[in-house]
Amino acid sequence: MEKRIKKILLFLLVILSLAPLTATPNTPYDIAYCTSYKVMTAKERQLLDTLYEGVRLHLPSIKLPFETEEAVFDKVLNVLCDDFPEILSLDKAYSVYKNQDDKVVDFVPQYFISRDTEVKMQKLLFSVAVKIVSASPSTEGEKELYFHDQICNLVTYSKNLDRRIIHTSYGALVEKEAVCDGYAKAMALLCRLANIECSVVSGMSYNGDTTGFHAWNIMKIHNTYTFSDLTWNDFKEYIRYDYFNVTDDIMAVDHKTVSSLNWPSCKSLAVNWHYLNNLYIKAINDKELRRLVKNYARFSSKTNETISIRFEDYDTYLRFTTNFEEWFKLALKDYKGSFSYWISPNDRQQCFAVRKVD
């Protein structure tokens, strides 16, 4: 295993150091696994290829392959900044030169670390990433879940917003401290190295109190496009799966994309965590809900594991959450006494979790 990891890492570092030989960006993974690149137009991809190579080499100025509208340039630059997790040094502050037709012709990037430092950081980043990928299970679904849990266990959400590195995959996987885009970039990197299609989605989120900029992932698992939000799944008390492989409609409850990219539709729950684990509850009556609570009590009496379920409709979720504690305490009498427990309702996602507390 150690030899295999070293060979993979050497291969990745060689790719990072080579001059471009093809029309596609010189990425350390097959660009076919980058969803954002797939949905761009041919001219947008050509522009991104040029920007990527110039940024990879830390060029002080990058001449565009053709003049372009500023809106198109901004769209492509945002993809470069948001969805290429191996790039660690690019600052979102930049300058451009325009011609007399007000078209962008040159890009003047800013880098917040030197190229030599970035290369050293990339070496550390890929040493961590390759070890995680090499230890992952065999199927796409198993790999995705493994990467998700590894990142959530490894990373602490950072409150030190002045550190730009927390917005990178390096911050997440090496320094173990990141914010939402760092989580999402780490997931994209691991998935692509494992030949799983994945990209970072940028947008806005609503947590019940405030609205703010946010980032999450779109990926293709077993031929199904789906969304996951690792940041919001990395809960304080446990790893939850409320935002693990959900649809457009479910994600739209508290997430909104702001990108001009035409992302693939995510319509199926076929790879949803709750659905796959028979924890997706359709509309049922109170008698069946009480039976569900009784099963909760029986399981909780035997383990400290968190139990999480998702409800298809809000009415069933509301009846369950309204009556849960009363029904749960009654059910505990059948299991020799009571114990302390912790609950976590997510009204927006119609998910509910409970765990015994020692």
Tell me, what's the pLDDT at 16? 53
**263 lies in the same domain as 288:** no
**63 lies in the same domain as 145:** no
Coil, strand, or helix at residue 22? coil
Number of compact structural domains in the chain: 3
**319 lies in the same domain as 232:** no
What tens digit of pLDDT does each residue of 329-358 get?
A: 888 877 666 678 889 999 999 999 998 887
**144 lies in the same domain as 271:** yes
Q: Which of 7-11, 40-44, 90-94 has the highest mean pLDDT?
A: 40-44
Any idea what the CATH number is for the domain that residue 256 is in? Answer: 3.10.620.30
**86 lies in the same domain as 149:** no
**89 lies in the same domain as 168:** no
pTM beyond cutoff 0.75: yes
CA distance 298 to 296: 6
Q: Is residue 316 part of a domain?
A: yes
CA distance 215 to 184: 6
Q: Is residue 131 part of a domain?
A: no
**157 lies in the same domain as 215:** yes
> 280 — phi, psi (to 5°)?
-105, 110
pLDDT at residue 107 above 50?
yes
Q: Is residue 249 part of a domain?
A: yes
Measured from the Cβ of residue 92, the count of other Cβ atoms closer than 10 Å reads 13
Instruction: Residue 319: give the domain boundaries.
Output: 278-356
**303 lies in the same domain as 231:** no
What tens digit of pLDDT does each residue of 220-230 get?
A: 999 999 999 99
Q: Is residue 115 part of a domain?
A: no
pLDDT at residue 21 above 50?
no
Report the mean per-residue pLDDT for the chain. 92
**10 lies in the same domain as 43:** yes
**11 lies in the same domain as 88:** yes
